Structure 1
Amino acid sequence: MDAWVEVTPKLAVTPSRKIIYRVLQTRSNVTVRNPECKTKRTVSSSEPEERLLLWIFQCEDYKLPIITGVTIQAKAANIRCDLARSGNSKDTVKLKALVFYHRWLLKFQKRHDLTSKRLHRVVASMNLNAVESERIALEELTLSYEKRDVFNTDKTAFFCCSMPVKSITKDGIAGRRHEKNRLTVASCCNADGTTKLPLLFVGFVKNRAAFKETPLNSLDCNTNAQKKD
């Protein structure tokens, strides 16, 4: 089976036996998974769907998240083009007529029990009573000012090298180690939204190599740097 998968579909990476087993089990259980379905319609071209499912299981095996359904649609279109170009498929005419609309995506995910799941979650505790009392005090403090004169500044961490936290998957996959490389992003605007200051990005390098050819003053934002702790 391993040799057949490597030669026949012409995959770049040979899938593991676990992935092959999951694909075969999924194919045999498609009609059993939705017993309430009144009409048991078969897929017009099964080879593209089997290869697409194999690719999804490979992503799960390597812990590579599939962020949105658009990724699945794009991969399905690439598989269709490869099969039509190779001429190995018996359904070349059907392949060329395939269009992977959003409706097809929903049915494909339902057919194979694929849903969007979070890879990991961090639960933070918060004193809601303290938040409410501080909010009331802040409202009383700003009552004597016009809304255009009341500004709010907030900062957040932008983890530019981190992996996505969601993936379209069947059984769920474990998240990878969270990368700590980050930029601090500060935003500021007034209460009525008439004045919005440019974003402020604070990192650890003042002159980044990525902006060597682009002057920072030409960007619609401000940048700064601070020393590492």
Structure 2
Amino acid sequence: MANTTKKRRQLSIETKLQILESVDTGEKKTAIAERFNIPASTLSTIIANRHKMRNGIEKFGPERKRSRSYKNDELDRKVFEWFTEVRSANIPLSGSILQDRAKTIALKLGIDDFHASNGWLSRFKRRWNLTTLRVCGEEAAVDVAVVEEWKEHLPSLVAGYDPKDIFNADESGFFYNLLPDSTLATKGEICHGGKRSKERLTVLFCTNSDGSEKLKPFVIGKFASLRCFKHVKKLPCRYGNNKSAWMTAILFREWLASLDAVMGGKNRKILLFLDGCTAHKTSDMKLRNVKVVHFPPNCTSKVQPLD
């Protein structure tokens, strides 16, 4: 026996609007159902939901295939209200921050099946006419000729060293209270950045060229004795401190002397590439197992791996 069940198909609101117009002209329902190839029950449902459908057309346009539930409409509105409030304070917002906030609002509304996916974010931005603007950003000029000349000289610098014995060290600032440097904003909005937090840690990373050895990070904070260290006997990193949480010549020399001693204990000779930071001046240090080579000035963004 052949299966005569019609496969259910999804109608756009535009098609449903055409169906309603046919109903309003007095056309017989059987003829309408046959012309649009839909069951009589589907036609009845469309007629019953005509007011809800027209509201959806006014808000979202006729291309949408299904009307949104009241809870989802409320979620959409509340997320945009929060977005508007935060942006009015010149606080940058990234897409991930907006997604996290949307999840929180959804839970408060009792919407358990909301996932705030990237697709949802894309549709939300399109619905509310949002775009991404950069708050600030600047790229330092690099002397390409100097970079190329240094690269030509590089083989002679690393001659005699295995890749595992060629290291690079560099600091990175960890601004743990810093807001994003780009933000979602309504199209045409003038983008102003607020005051940027300067609370930071400095972390020195060091690894060899083949990635087989990564030294413990050297973390520098403001305070020597932190409350969170009270019952900690061993840290997964080296820790130092000064009032600005920056790398200083004293701290760097202590770290470098320690590295030299460790390599001496392993009977290893290594090559360490450093940038020209003032704290990295080591010409007067007597190192037995670490040879320091500095990158040319203003070129680290092109030649330093850890940059």
TM-score bracket, shorter-length normalisation: 0.5 to 0.7
How far 1:133 moved relative to its partner?
Answer: 1.9
- Greater Rg over alpha carbons, structure: 2
1:191 paired with 2:209, answer yes
1:144 paired with 2:160, answer yes
Gaps of at least 5 residues in structure 1 are 1-27, 32-37, 85-94
The structure 2 residue matched to 1:106, chosen from 122, 139, 149, is: 122
- The RMSD of aligned alpha carbons is 2.9
- Structure 1 contact 155–186 (Cα < 8 Å) conserved: yes
How far 1:213 moved relative to its partner?
Answer: 3.6
2:298 is matched with which residue?
none
The structure 2 residue matched to 1:156, chosen from 155, 172, 176, is: 172
- Structure 2 contact 176–199 (Cα < 8 Å) conserved: yes
Distance 1:109 1:137, change over 3 A: same
* Amino acid aligned to 1:198: K
Trace 1:26-175 onto structure 2 (pairs within 5 A): 31=61, 39-40=63-64, 42-45=67-70, 46-69=73-96, 71-84=97-110, 100-170=116-186, 171=189, 173-175=191-193
Q: Give CA-to-partner distance per residue, 1:95-136, whole Å, 9 cap, x none.
A: 566554432222112222323332221332222222232233
Gaps of at least 5 residues in structure 2 are 1-57, 249-307
- Structure 2 contact 208–214 (Cα < 8 Å) conserved: yes
**Counterparts of 2:223 and 2:200, CA distance in 1:** 11
SS at match of 2:215: strand
* Amino acid aligned to 2:157: L
Q: Number of paired residues? A: 183
How far 1:227 moved relative to its partner?
Answer: 5.7
How far 1:29 moved relative to its partner?
Answer: 8.0
1:181 paired with 2:205, answer no
**Counterparts of 2:102 and 2:178, CA distance in 1:** 26
% identical equivalent positions = 25
* Amino acid aligned to 1:211: F
Question: TM-score w.r.t. structure 1 length?
Answer: 0.66
SS at match of 1:110: helix
How far 1:30 moved relative to its partner?
Answer: 5.7
Distance 1:80 1:150, change over 3 A: closer
- Structure 1 contact 163–178 (Cα < 8 Å) conserved: yes
**Counterparts of 1:162 and 1:83, CA distance in 2:** 30
* Amino acid aligned to 1:178: R
How far 1:197 moved relative to its partner?
Answer: 0.3
**Counterparts of 2:199 and 2:181, CA distance in 1:** 16
- Structure 1 contact 117–172 (Cα < 8 Å) conserved: no
How far 1:53 moved relative to its partner?
Answer: 0.9
- Structure 1 contact 117–168 (Cα < 8 Å) conserved: yes
**Counterparts of 1:204 and 1:214, CA distance in 2:** 18
Q: Give CA-to-partner distance per residue, 1:46-82, whole Å, 9 cap, x none.
A: 222111111111110122332333x333433333343
Question: TM-score w.r.t. structure 2 length?
Answer: 0.51
